[in-house]
């Protein structure tokens, strides 16, 4: 398989060209936006929560590279039905396994942008914890 086909495998391009759960929810119980300062990728995520803070609906909007937008699309499918606490505790590797593509450190930031924004939205709405590795600058940045 060529390097192109490994990175931009069919599933990634499909999510990029036909994003799932696209469009923001109005009203929403949780919402946040974030940018990747390296390349200006933008993602906004909105969530509707049910009993026990279970994610019933999720919608996103954004602009950026295929990896950032496809990863966010796949993420939205993945988290439906999970509680806010479960998503806060979700390891990035779970999303990366789902993506199933080789990522350089730079592209890794693209891939996990949506997950970070979703965790931030839940943090703002429900006080769920943010990843330990986030420094003050990262929190400020996505809080803009």
Partner 1 sequence: MQIGAGRQGYDGPVAVTTDRKLDAHRLRADFPIFEQTFHGKPLAFLDSAASSQKPRQMLDAMNDFYETSYANVHRGVYALAERATEALELARHKVQTLLNAPSAREVIFVRNATEAINLVAYAWGLVNLKPGDLVVVSELEHHSNFVPWQYIAHRTGAGFRMIPLDDHGELRLGELDAIAAGGDVKVVATGVVSNSLGTMNPVEALATWAHEHGAIMVADGAQSAPHMKMDVQALGCDFVAISAHKMCGPSGVGALWGKAELLESMEPFLTGGHMIRSVGDDETTWGELPHKFEAGTAPMAEAVGFGAAIDYLTEIGFDAIEQYEHELAAYALGRLAELPWVTTYGPPAERRAGIVSFNVDGVHPHDVAQVLDFDGIAIRAGHHCCQPLMRKLGVAATNRASFYVYTIPDEIDRLVEGLHKVKKAFG
Contact positions vs partner 1 (CB under 8 A): 2-4, 7-8, 13, 38-42, 63-68, 107, 110
Handedness of CA 40, 83, 124, 24 (dihedral sign): positive
Is 39 in a helix, a strand, or coil?
Answer: coil
In the complex, least distance from residue 45 CB atom to partner 1, rounded to whole angstroms: 18
Closer of 5 and 77 to partner 1 (Cβ): 5
In the complex, least distance from residue 3 CB atom to partner 1, rounded to whole angstroms: 5
Q: Is 35 exposed, middle or buried (0-12, 13-18, 19+ CB in 10 A)?
A: middle
Closer of 82 and 107 to partner 1 (Cβ): 107
Q: How far apart are CA 41 and CA 21, in angstroms?
A: 18
In the complex, least distance from residue 69 CB atom to partner 1, rounded to whole angstroms: 8
Cis, peptide link before residue 27, omega less than 30° from 0: yes
68 and 113 Cβ atoms separated by less than 8 Å: yes
Q: How far apart are CA 133 and CA 57, in angstroms?
A: 28
Closer of 89 and 106 to partner 1 (Cβ): 106
In the complex, least distance from residue 77 CB atom to partner 1, rounded to whole angstroms: 22
Closer of 7 and 130 to partner 1 (Cβ): 7
């Amino acid at each position: 398989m060529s390097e192109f086909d490994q990175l931009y495998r069919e599933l990634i391009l499909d999510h990029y060209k036909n994003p799932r759960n696209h469009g923001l929810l109005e009203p929403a119980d949780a919402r946040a936006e974030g940018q990747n300062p390296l390349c200006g990728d933008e993602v906004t995520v909105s969530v509707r929560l049910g009993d026990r803070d279970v994610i019933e609906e999720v919608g996103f909007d954004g602009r950026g590279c295929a990896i950032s937008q496809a990863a966010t699309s796949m993420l939205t499918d993945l988290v439906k039905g999970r509680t806010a606490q479960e998503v806060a505790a979700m390891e990035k590797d779970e999303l990366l396994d789902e993506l199933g593509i080789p990522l350089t450190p730079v592209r890794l930031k693209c891939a996990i942008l949506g997950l970070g924004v979703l965790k931030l939205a839940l943090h703002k709405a429900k006080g769920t914890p943010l990843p330990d590795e986030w420094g003050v600058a990262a929190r400020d940045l996505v809080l803009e």
